[in-house]
């Protein structure tokens, strides 16, 4: 619906569900914003470890995950009715290690390549809690069970991929991981506009089956409201954002201090007053001095009870500022008071006669809202109307006013005094709140274009990058080029752009032509950054993935890198660039171990030799049967096994207790430590000597597990793993 229709639908009742504010943003634009935040963080910057051990297959084997995740890339799916977000995190590096706990040997390890594998999945928005911490960071907490990811980049049909997916879900179900979404600008704004907590929900657009918005339900210094979509879709047609500031915040916390400051010379105080769930701002105390009234001949004038000239002063209590018809801001004031008026008889003997009169004055104004296109300040403008005169009929009044028009002069003075305040009323700091305190101010601006006060403040506008780089994401082979273009929020190309690369891999000229480096080790991610030289606060980025694809020559063998120990087997799979299984001939160089073709298309297996005396590398090459020009390779690292001993090998601990552990092995001294099962305490390696670690038991005994497996392992030119047992004794 149009803005006026939406204002009418919101008239007379608060629609924020008890929240201090609600910000609605087009879902597609919000995904763009989160993508820019993702680029700003650095897509492959190590962000969080993912460590877990889980049983594998039907035997006694286990798989150990030791992965480093990149920052989350958050977006929103097409079906906004699901109340879900999508979170994808690349696996920056790490290992998937299979081991036999009975023999205490590592069997295999898949080496994770950057951007070759990732985890992705939905986040239940009703389980995501947001808060603003002490340094102004806006943090989303993926509470336990909120994130249900699956792993990608490992053959989907394999049993291992299924088990890894289950293990990752278990890991996130037991972790409440926090991710920074942005940083608010800590400014000198009222507490009513300082976000402290928020919830995220989505709301489909009833007029667009593929569209909708993301709602930020914002708590400042009030209490949290109910979580869910609003009764009416809050973004009007032609806009991509809307901001609702609750009636309580507006009339109870923002307008009263502003007006109290404006009325300070009169001694008037404004406070919020509630009636039927709706607030208004009302005044108390203070006086307005309208000055003395006198005729040109000074034979009629305002006076005190003794006939001495005196100014007309009126109690300024009783002003009411409220939301009125047609979504405007209204001011009303009506006051009765006693005032003396004196007439002078100039004919000797000169005499003066004071008259006491009950006076009545009225002031009213209806203000319309507007938004400054440059500053986004929301202001209300209008001119008031006043009435001034006796509250009842007085015989002297007509004669008194016959010489000069007291009501007209008084009404003019009232209008001048009150119009100067109410006619230029601004909502303090709402623009700062909208532009600086809603999650992502450093990257994007929420521009406001229209406002009204049907009950809550309703402002609408657009959320859009002031600057965008197109295309947003590209994949390039080493040495290839790509043209990038910087455009404004209307999609128009911009000039005067400074181009930067983070990191500085490859080159880019002043016109936005990027050339990828000729050679890369694994996958590299480069953020192409555009900075507007006319306004350096405006910047945006695009992501370039430079990757010598395993299928660059037509075929992929997965996994692309694998470590095996003596006598171990591993299934290989040959696919084309689209992931389809391909019939191929495979060979090993050097001819070490046994390479065997499987019974399904693309299936092969490799068996390491029964003994491995030193580390070696075997290259597997695949050649498509139907098109011999299509080939692919992978590497298998053969590693001898080394026994690892953990001391003590068995110990007993009470809840909350600790155990000091030491690992030792011939040939290497660098170890990684993990626990099984998840949630059974924590283990911390000594930063200066990873062969030493401290296990800390949980505060209470696990319900279904009183024996904990502690694992220390190393993967160097040899592979070794050791296990220790910890038993609870509560």
Residue 373 — very low, low, confident or very high, per pLDDT cuts 50/70/90? confident
**Does the pLDDT of residue 636 top 90, yes or no?**
yes
Q: How far is CA 343 from CA 11, 299, 309, 595, in A?
A: 51, 6, 11, 121
Report whether 721 contacts 712 (CB < 8 A): yes
Instruction: Return the number of other C-beta atoms located less than 10 Å from residue 700's C-beta.
Output: 10
- Please write the tens of the pLDDT for every residue from 89-125: 887 778 889 999 999 999 999 887 666 677 888 888 8
**Which pLDDT score is estimated for 425?**
87
Q: Which residues contact 187 (CB under 8 A, 6 or more apart)?
A: 429, 432, 436, 437
Q: What is the pLDDT of residue 609?
A: 95
Task: State how far Cα 299 lies from the chain centre.
Answer: 71
pLDDT at 664 over 50: yes
Report the distance separating Cα 227 and Cα 120, nearest Å: 25
- What is the per-residue pLDDT for 725? 93
First CA to last CA across the chain, in angstroms?
A: 64
Least confident among 224-228, 257-261, 362-366, 372-376: 372-376
Cβ atoms within 10 Å of 279's Cβ, excluding its own: 24
Token look-up 């390479």 returns 595
pLDDT digits (tens, 9 = 90+) for 496-537: 999 999 989 999 999 999 999 998 876 788 999 999 998 887
Name the residue with higher pLDDT: 146 or 243: 243
CA distance 60 to 103: 10
- CA separation for the pair 236, 223 (Å, rounded): 27
Longest dimension (CA), the chain: 137
Per-residue confidence band for 590, with pLDDT thresholds at 50, 70 and 90: very high
576 C-beta neighbours (distance < 10 Å), count:
18
CB atoms within 10 A of CB 563: 24
pTM: 0.79
Report whether 494 contacts 486 (CB < 8 A). Answer: yes
| Residues present in the chain in total | 730
Average pLDDT, the chain: 87
Is the predicted pLDDT of residue 153 greater than 70, yes or no? no
What is the rounded average pLDDT of the residues 672-695?
92
Mean per-residue pLDDT, 447-472: 88
- pLDDT number for residue 444: 53
Q: Report residue 59's pLDDT band, with 50, 70 and 90 as the boundaries.
A: confident
Residues above pLDDT 70, as percent of the chain: 93
């Amino acid at each position: 619906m149009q803005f006026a229709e939406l204002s009418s639908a919101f008239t007379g009742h608060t629609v924020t569900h008890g929240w201090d504010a609600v910000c609605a943003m087009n879902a597609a634009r919000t995904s763009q914003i989160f993508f820019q935040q993702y680029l700003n963080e650095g897509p492959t910057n190590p962000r969080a470890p993912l460590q877990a051990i889980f049983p594998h297959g039907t035997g006694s084997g286990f798989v150990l995950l030791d992965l480093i995740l990149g920052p989350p890339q958050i977006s929103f799916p097409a079906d906004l009715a699901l109340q879900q977000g999508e979170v994808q995190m690349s696996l920056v590096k790490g290992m998937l290690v299979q081991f036999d706990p009975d023999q205490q040997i590592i069997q295999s390890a898949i080496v994770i390549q950057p951007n070759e594998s990732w985890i992705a999945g939905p986040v239940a928005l009703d389980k995501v809690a947001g808060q603003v911490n002490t340094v102004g960071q806006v943090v989303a907490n993926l509470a336990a069970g909120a994130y249900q990811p699956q792993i990608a980049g490992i053959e989907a049909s394999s049993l291992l991929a299924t088990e890894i997916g289950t293990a990752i879900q278990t890991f996130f179900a037991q972790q409440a991981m926090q991710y920074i979404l942005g940083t608010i600008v800590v400014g000198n704004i009222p507490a009513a506009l300082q976000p402290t907590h928020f919830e995220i929900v989505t709301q489909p657009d009833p007029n667009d089956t593929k569209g909708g918005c993301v709602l930020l339900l914002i708590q400042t210094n009030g209490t949290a409201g109910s979580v869910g979509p609003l009764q009416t879709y809050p973004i009007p047609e032609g806009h991509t954002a809307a901001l609702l500031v609750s009636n309580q915040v507006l009339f109870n916390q923002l307008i009263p201090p502003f007006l109290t400051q404006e009325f300070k010379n009169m001694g008037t105080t404004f406070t919020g007053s509630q009636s039927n769930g709706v607030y208004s701002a009302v005044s108390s105390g203070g006086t307005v001095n309208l000055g003395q009234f006198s005729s040109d001949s000074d034979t009629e004038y305002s006076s005190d009870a003794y006939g001495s000239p005196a100014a007309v002063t009126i109690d300024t209590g009783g002003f009411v500022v409220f939301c009125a018809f047609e979504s405007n801001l209204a001011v009303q004031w009506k006051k009765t008071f006693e005032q003396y008026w004196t007439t002078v008889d100039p004919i000797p003997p000169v005499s003066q006669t004071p008259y006491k009169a009950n006076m009545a004055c009225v002031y009213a104004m209806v203000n319309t809202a507007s938004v400054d296109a440059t500053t986004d300040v929301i202001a209300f403008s209008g001119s008031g109307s006043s009435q001034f005169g006796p509250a009842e009929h007085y015989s002297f009044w007509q004669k008194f006013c016959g010489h000069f028009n007291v009501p007209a002069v008084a009404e003019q003075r009232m209008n001048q005094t009150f119009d100067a305040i109410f006619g230029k009323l601004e909502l303090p700091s709402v623009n700062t709140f909208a532009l600086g305190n809603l999650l992502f101010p450093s990257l994007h601006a929420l521009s406001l274009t229209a406002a009204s006060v049907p009950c809550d403040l309703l402002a609408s506008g657009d959320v859009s990058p002031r600057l965008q780089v197109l295309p947003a994401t590209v994949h390039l082979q080493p040495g290839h080029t790509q043209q990038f273009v910087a455009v404004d929020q209307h999609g128009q190309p911009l000039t005067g752009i400074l181009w930067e690369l983070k990191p500085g891999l490859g080159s880019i000229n002043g016109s936005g032509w990027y050339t990828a480096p000729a050679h890369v080790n694994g996958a590299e991610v480069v953020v192409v950054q555009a900075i507007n030289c006319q306004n350096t606060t405006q910047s945006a980025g695009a992501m370039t993935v430079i990757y010598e694809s395993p299928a660059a020559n037509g075929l992929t063998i997965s996994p692309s890198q694998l470590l095996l120990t003596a006598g171990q087997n591993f299934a290989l799979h040959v696919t084309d660039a689209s992931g389809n299984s391909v019939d191929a001939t495979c060979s090993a160089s050097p001819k070490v171990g046994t390479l065997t073709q499987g019974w399904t298309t693309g299936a092969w297996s490799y068996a390491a030799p029964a003994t491995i005396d030193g580390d070696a590398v075997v290259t597997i090459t695949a050649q498509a049967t139907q098109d011999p020009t299509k080939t692919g390779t992978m590497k298998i690292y053969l590693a001898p096994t080394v026994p690892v001993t953990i001391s003590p090998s068995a110990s007993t601990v009470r809840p909350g207790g600790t155990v000091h552990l030491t690992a030792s092995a011939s040939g290497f001294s660098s170890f990684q430590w993990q626990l099984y099962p998840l949630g059974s305490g924590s283990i911390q390696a000594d930063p200066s000597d990873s062969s030493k670690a401290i296990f800390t038991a949980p505060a209470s005994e696990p319900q279904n597990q009183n024996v904990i497996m502690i694992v220390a392992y190393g993967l160097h030119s040899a592979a070794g793993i050791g296990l220790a047992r910890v038993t609870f004794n509560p």
